Amino acid sequence: MIAGCFNFSQPNTPSSSSYCSQTQSQVPQNVVTCTYQTQLCNSPTYLTLSWSKTLFSHSLTISATDIFSITISLNSSTFFFRTRHGSKTIHHRKLKLHWNFTRAEFIQNSAEPESRFYLAISHKGKLQFFLGDLFHVFSPHHHQQDCPETVLLSRREHVFGSRSYVSRAVFMGTKHVIEIECSGGILGVKVDGEMRLVVKRLAWKFRGYEKIFIDGVEVEFYWDVLSWVANSENGNGHGVFVFQVGDGTVWPEMVGAEKKLMKKSVSGSSVLQWAEESSECGRTSSSSSTRSCGSNATGFSLLLYAWRA
């Protein structure tokens, strides 16, 4: 049995007068990375949005492979971004980025806004990508009639807690609250407050796969807590959990704060590799075609890294 799945000490706990100079690197980084399938410059593209928040900073990095990568500060404590709205032109591509986070609402200190915001990308004046619930605010000023469809392919999030880790996901168009509980060597998965799966004896079942149903939709669930089991005494490592709906998995390359965060565990790369390979188990070779930007997305993947806060 695992001696308390989460009974490990908090990494980098300040214990000296050097607290002020080290605190920024010690506080948990809430990082959410989402990958969308869209059209940019008349070509199908993977667009990656990485939201990052700590006690001292809040930012959004928007990147499209071989096209651009831009970071926007969302820290309302600074004078320049007090209104948290604006635009930026990417001259060599004739792209323009528009955003408004003035009244954005966030849930439980999440780095990603829940409502009252918009993020848009236009090419030669034509709207290519739109995210948020304020299209009625954006469209009159930019002469846009239609809001393009936004297809979310994958979401990767770093969650923090002691015994409970909570995230939100959209499966087949419906929002759900996902909660993972771990205590005394027992793993539990709740969806909207209802227990859907219980795994006992994690010391022997540290890696596995099960199917669960959410509103009649089959969801493949993978877990890997080998890092917890192997480091139960010194408290290093993290758990990883994958929820897969339909075909196709897209894990974009880690950037910025997320990449730094993963360096805390030497097993980070192997865990991610396992998640990628396991999500294709039992599927036909043709299902992997959704990795191509030119194909139509037919699935969604949620990847959670669980850290002790």
- List the chain domain ranges: 33-151, 156-285+298-308
pLDDT band at 278 (very low <50, low <70, confident <90, very high): low
- Long-range CB pairs of 207-216 (<8 Å, 24+ gap) are 207/274, 209/278, 209/281, 214/171, 214/176, 215/171, 215/172, 215/174
Strands 151-161 and 300-308, bridge-based pairing: parallel
> Is the predicted pLDDT of residue 91 greater than 80, yes or no?
no
Residue 172: per-residue pLDDT: 75
User: In 3D, which of 274, 245, 101, 246 has the Cα closest to residue 176?
Assistant: 245
3-state secondary structure of 93: helix
Q: How far apart are CA 125 and CA 228, in angstroms?
A: 50
Fold held by 156-285+298-308? Lipocalin (2.40.128)
Query: Stretch 292-300: mean pLDDT, rounded?
Result: 60
DSSP assignments along 221-248, one per residue: EEEE-HHHHHTTTT----EEEEEEESS-
* Span 152-194, pLDDT tens digits: 999 999 998 878 999 988 887 788 999 999 888 899 999 999 9
Q: Which residues pair with 128 in a beta bridge?
A: none
**Other beta carbons less than 10 A from residue 16's beta carbon:** 6
* Span 98-127, pLDDT tens digits: 999 988 898 877 899 999 999 999 988 889
pLDDT band at 94 (very low <50, low <70, confident <90, very high): confident
* Span 128-155, pLDDT tens digits: 999 999 888 888 777 777 888 888 999 9
Residues 194, 200, 202, 206, Cα dihedral to 10°: -70
* 6 HSE (CA, 13 A, CB side): 17
Report if pTM > 0.85. no
Of the candidate ranges 57-71, 161-175, 276-290, the one whose mean pLDDT is the lowest: 276-290
> Is the predicted pLDDT of residue 292 greater than 90, yes or no?
no
* Span 217-265, pLDDT tens digits: 899 999 998 877 777 666 566 889 999 998 757 777 777 777 777 765 5
Mean pLDDT computed over every residue of the chain: 77
Which one-letter DSSP state was computed for residue 105?
Answer: B
* CA–centroid distance for 307 within its chain: 14
- Amino acid making up residue 202: L
Residue 22: per-residue pLDDT: 37
Report CA torsion sign: 72, 291, 273, 167: positive
Which one-letter DSSP state was computed for residue 306?
Answer: E
Q: How far apart are CA 180 and CA 186, in angstroms?
A: 11
Q: Under a CB-based contact definition with an 8 Å cutoff, are residues 237 and 227 in contact?
A: yes
> Is the predicted pLDDT of residue 77 greater than 80, yes or no?
no
3-state secondary structure of 227: helix
pLDDT band at 49 (very low <50, low <70, confident <90, very high): very high
Phi, psi of 135 (to 5 degrees): -65, -30
Report CA torsion sign: 184, 185, 190, 196: negative
Q: How far apart are CA 142 and CA 259, in angstroms?
A: 36
* CA–centroid distance for 68 within its chain: 20
Residue 296: per-residue pLDDT: 52
